[in-house]
Amino acid sequence: MPKAHVKRYLVAGILAWLPLAVTLAVLVWLLGAIDGLFSTLLNAAQAVLPATQTAWLESLRHVPGLSVIVLAALLVLTGVLVTNIFGQWLLHRWDTLLQRIPIVKSIYSSVKQVSDTLFSTSGNAFREAVLVQYPRPGSWTIAFVTGRPSGEVAAHLPGEHLSVYVPTTPNPTSGFFLMMPRSEMRALGMSVDEALKYIISMGVVAPPPGSEPAGAERNRTG
């Protein structure tokens, strides 16, 4: 068999198995992290309870999938708790406590603000993909609108500006925060998920054509 054919078949085989391999690797890592957290909870319970009552806890370590079930149940119960008045009060007291601890308060408050913004059902973060010129004029990249500048920053910016996040590729979890004039952005019709796939694949997985830009309807009605 010619070497060119072998190389082509080898690359085709890698491309066929790579997505599955990466998916399995991520799932294995996630399950390992959950199992580690579950083991930590069991160790804490064994340290608190009398030795005569910890034998049944040790047997829980060997139940397949129990850590995932416990974590899912804990998240659901926590969600039920924090969505009522008493739970909101407890959550507020917990936030107040953590925000009084040096070092911890800086990390906790920053993560909380970002998570509340990204996952809030009423928020506008990452709801629109746009084209911006970055890192120089004439060079275009995809960015995500995260909101509008406010406070002292907004007072120094003439005209309408938007806050955008420019992700890096192939790892979109790192990137750059910019504040740019709305007039210098071009609205895209692709969804945020489609834009993320386009970025992660380095332009290989293109979104389907024919979508209307997100700002087109606003421009017609405005």
What pLDDT shows up at residue 185?
Answer: 92
Question: Of 57, 79, 94, which marks where a domain is finished?
Answer: 57
Based on the domain organization, do 96 and 35 belong to the same domain?
no
What pLDDT shows up at residue 214?
Answer: 52
Residue 202 within any structural domain of the chain: yes
122 pLDDT higher than 60? no
Secondary structure of residue 215 in the 3-state scheme: coil
Based on the domain organization, do 149 and 200 belong to the same domain?
yes
Contact 153, 180 (CB under 8 A): no
Residue 214 within any structural domain of the chain: no
Compute the average pLDDT of residues 206-222: 55
What pLDDT shows up at residue 131?
Answer: 94
Compute the average pLDDT of residues 48-61: 74
54 pLDDT higher than 80? no
Residue 217 within any structural domain of the chain: no
Based on the domain organization, do 75 and 52 belong to the same domain?
no
Question: Of 57, 74, 92, which marks where a domain is finished?
Answer: 57
Based on the domain organization, do 24 and 45 belong to the same domain?
yes
Residue 220 within any structural domain of the chain: no
143 pLDDT higher than 90? yes
Secondary structure of residue 120 in the 3-state scheme: coil
Mean pLDDT in the chain? 81
50 pLDDT higher than 80? no
Q: How far apart are CA 200 and CA 192, in angstroms?
A: 12
pTM of whole model > 0.85? no
Q: How far apart are CA 100 and CA 219, in angstroms?
A: 47
* Count of the separate structural domains present in the chain: 3
Q: How far apart are CA 129 and CA 153, in angstroms?
A: 23
What Cα–Cα distance (Å) separates residue 147 from each residue in 127, 144, 214? 9, 9, 15
DSSP for 54-84 reads -HHHHHHTTSTTHHHHHHHHHHHHHHHHHTS
Report residue 218's pLDDT band, with 50, 70 and 90 as the boundaries.
very low
Compute the average pLDDT of residues 128-132: 92
Residue 215 within any structural domain of the chain: no
Compute the average pLDDT of residues 173-183: 89
Is the preceding peptide bond at 135 cis, omega within 30 degrees of 0?
yes
For the stretch 71-119, pLDDT in tens is 888 888 888 888 888 888 888 888 888 888 888 888 887 777 767 666 6
By residue range, what is the domain housing residue 157?
Answer: 129-207
What pLDDT shows up at residue 121?
Answer: 53
DSSP for 82-116 reads HTSHHHHHHHHHHHHHHTTSTTHHHHHHHHHHHHH
Q: Which residue has the higher pLDDT, 51 or 145?
A: 145
Question: Of 31, 57, 83, which marks where a domain is finished?
Answer: 57
